[in-house]
Structure 1
């Protein structure tokens, strides 16, 4: 099927009919709540986030803002009743805001359109030269090359994938679980913290041989994970 949707919703009739309208062409995960949704978004990739919770507008806006700090996937909000604050949700980061009464077919069409645009955008990005530039750091995912200024640094696959992950979103902290899932492409198991630490230690040693600034750009966040940040940022 390919497409994956995470739904955060209260139990009501419209939600159930809407779910039926999209589950035929997408894999659905029904979050058990806001915290469960945020936990999943930090580990798994989704093509659409559908929010249909009966909460105060301020709460929903804060939830959307938090999501926007984690992922770029489109967000659709289904409001339980008419409101004059639709623009507020869009400003918070939502892509589509629908109001009840709303036919399941409308939800299905909007969801399909959002996922299609998101996939097209992702395909376009992948067709580019695969390059990332962060200060003196230059990486290319197609040629699997890594440069610091003009010096090429030889790294193994997991070292490259780890650094490319951090460089793709400078300043964002990736948890040990996220890093393991993306770099190792496996579900976290055993002592992943030590495994990641050893890999990072080897990588940083290679960076240190080139430049201390390169060595220092990988920041360890105690008991959480790692991020990339240059001193002049």
Structure 2
């Protein structure tokens, strides 16, 4: 069986070494780099199953690295950063991270999060459907097999979580999902302060789908309840 490869991108060598020790005990193959530019190069050169990514790194920071990686790759990415503000956490999740931990951190908690992210990813990124039926709604096409979205033939670049939310809503037109429902199904975690995270993802998703130009919105807010897809 192929060993799972985890890439650690952090310019603090002691932290990278500490993480590696704990994850190697779990049987993972570990690759370490010290800057975002090298992280992107490694992801392009070999199969990486999960990334642990610092934000403040030389040559290329974590934000730019994740933007480039998300253009082609869908592996789980965990930000591990000294940036502790809510804004930084939300920004990290919006641009494509699956989880965010702040430094200093508890190593066994990081291991638990790594294991949880890999479990979800190995289950085909639940809740994305177990079928490959393409969804089409008035110029919008959603392909779960290729995880692509087009709007009137134009490719729309979505983060993995944005795609998951859109496919969840589109698979069940007119069904209302609360922020709690969406968080639990897409992130696979118990709902804890996830309402703002869901709201930010919905807002970004609407912008990418050019909802401001539509008379009949695809994603509708049901005030006091949640969101639904107007299919």
Question: What's the TM-score, normalizing by structure 1?
Answer: 0.49
Q: Looking at secondary structure, tell me which structure has more helix per residue.
A: 1
Question: What's the TM-score, normalizing by structure 2?
Answer: 0.50
